[in-house]
Structure formats: structure tokens, C-alpha cells
């Protein structure tokens, strides 16, 4: 909702900071997906877990870019049709549901992995709020409805956390699915938002995000949360 507010209040400086969150979150998410979630999922589910990783990746593409006429991460700056806004919301609801599944699946492995995944998801929640609110406004919705959409994404994340405990399929394959979802969000949603921009700042923030993942992991281990 904070991301949504930055759009509806047209807070230019806030949006600039959130652009940094996109790059930082991308680095952090890719680091945790490749270095932590992927090996953990394969250790638990064997090589068949790899198929669920792929499934998670494909599922996000299906919901965000196949059934959706127009969607990309970051602030929407041109006019889009109303239906583009609605389908972007549906696609992002599925994505945010799996954000919640990822957090819960992490905690099922260890407190450390749960906390690391929580940070990874938290980092791209501001850009997520910006994305959905701006596409709603670009599609002609009122600021109130734009904020409401951001709130729905937050709620879907919490529902994903709760559902993981009750749906056997998610309890079993949630970790592998969220590895695929996290790789998609990092590599295919967030990275394309800044890879065309010149200069060293955003790449430095991106690499810094990946480095920070290892720093937080060591910090949590030092705190004995391993
Ligand atoms: Zn656009
Ligand atoms: Zn997300």
C-alpha cells in the first residue's frame, strides 16, 4: 500500500527510491533462489523437484504475460485499457499468493530460511504496489481503487502463507514452486525494468542486493537462527 500511495500522491522522490528497490530486490531474490531455495528444494524432493521449479516459473509467465494483454513491472507511464488493469491485477494476485507460499515454505524448512525469504519478498513489495496502482490509474481507475488493488496484493500474500499449511500440495511442493516463482520475479520481472538504463548506479545496487543476501545469511547464522 505504501508503494501504491507513492503513485496516487505522485511522490516523485519516493518513486525514485522504489526504483532502487527494484534493482536491489532483483539481486537479493536471485541470490536466495539460486543459492538457498533451489538446493533445499532438490535436497528434499529429489530431481523431480526441478520440474516444480520449472512449473513455478512457467505459471508466472502464464498469469502475467499470456492471459494478460499488457503488463510489466515498474510504474505505468502510458495509457492502458481498463481490461489490462484488471488482468494485471489477476496475474499479480497469483504471483503474490506464491510470495506467501514461499515465506511459509521457508519457515517449514528453518527459521533462517523463512526470515531470508521474508526479506526477499518484502524488498519487492514496494515496487509491486507501484506497479499495480500505476497500471490501475493508467487504465482509468480512481486513486481509491488503485490503492484497494495494492491492498488486495498484500492480502493475497497473507492468504498464501496461511494456505500453505492447509493445502497438502503446497506443503509438499511449495518450496520448489517458489524457487521458480522467485527466479521469474527476479530475472524476468525486475531485471528487465533496469537493464536498459545507462550508468553504474542501478547495476551496483543490483549486485549489492545479491551481496546483501549473503551478509544477512551470515548475520542470522551469527545470531544462532540457523
Ligand atoms: Zn506499460
Ligand atoms: Zn511478489
- Please report the pLDDT score of residue 226 as a whole number: 58
Ligand nearest to the CA of 81: 1
Nearest ligand, CA 88? 1
- Which ligand has its closest atom nearest to the C-alpha of 131? 1
Beta strands in the chain (DSSP E): none
Which pTM does this prediction carry? 0.88
pLDDT at residue 225 greater than cutoff 70? no
Model confidence over 27-74: pLDDT tens digits? 999 999 999 999 999 999 999 999 999 999 999 999 888 877 788 888
CB–CB of 144/138 below 8 Å? no
Per residue in 161-177, pLDDT (tens digit) is 999 999 999 999 999 99
- Find the 10 Cα to ligand 1 centroid distance in Å: 17
pLDDT tens digits, 132-152: 999 898 888 899 999 999 999
The cell for 20 is 532502487
CA dist 154 and 13 (Å) reads 23
CA–centroid distance, residue 95 to ligand 2 (Å): 6
Residue 186 Cα, ligand 2 centroid: separation in angstroms? 9
What was the pLDDT predicted at 213? Answer: 93
**In the prediction, which pLDDT does 107 show?**
95
For every residue of 89-154, DSSP letters joined together read HHHHHHHHHHHHHHHHHHHHH-HHHHHHHHHHHHHTHHHHHHHHHHHHHHTT--HHHHHHHHHHHH
Would you state the pLDDT for residue 175?
93
Closest listed residue to residue 133, CA positions, set 88, 70, 191 = 88
Amino acid at each position: 500500500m505504501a508503494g501504491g500511495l507513492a503513485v496516487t500522491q505522485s511522490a516523485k522522490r519516493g518513486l525514485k527510491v522504489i526504483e532502487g528497490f527494484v534493482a536491489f530486490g532483483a539481486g537479493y531474490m536471485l541470490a536466495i533462489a539460486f543459492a538457498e531455495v533451489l538446493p533445499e528444494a532438490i535436497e528434499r524432493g529429489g530431481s523431480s523437484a526441478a520440474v516444480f521449479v520449472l512449473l513455478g516459473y512457467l505459471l508466472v509467465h502464464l498469469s502475467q504475460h499470456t492471459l494478460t494483454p499488457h503488463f510489466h513491472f515498474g510504474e505505468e507511464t502510458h495509457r492502458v485499457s481498463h481490461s489490462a488493469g484488471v488482468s494485471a491485477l489477476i496475474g499479480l494476485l497469483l504471483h503474490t499468493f506464491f510470495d506467501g507460499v514461499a515465506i511459509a515454505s521457508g519457515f517449514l524448512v528453518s527459521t533462517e530460511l523463512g526470515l531470508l525469504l521474508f526479506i526477499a519478498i518484502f524488498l519487492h513489495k514496494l515496487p509491486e504496489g507501484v506497479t499495480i496502482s500505476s497500471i490501475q490509474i493508467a487504465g482509468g481507475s480512481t486513486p481509491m481503487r488503485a490503492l484497494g488493488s495494492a491492498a488486495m496484493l498484500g492480502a493475497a500474500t497473507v492468504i498464501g502463507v496461511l494456505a500453505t499449511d492447509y493445502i497438502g500440495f503446497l506443503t509438499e511442493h511449495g518450496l520448489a514452486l517458489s524457487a521458480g516463482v522467485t527466479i521469474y520475479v527476479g530475472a524476468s520481472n525486475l531485471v528487465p525494468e533496469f537493464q536498459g538504463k545507462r550508468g553504474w548506479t542501478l547495476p551496483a545496487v543490483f549486485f549489492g542486493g545479491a551481496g546483501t543476501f549473503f551478509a544477512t545469511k551470515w548475520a542470522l547464522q551469527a545470531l544462532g537462527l540457523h
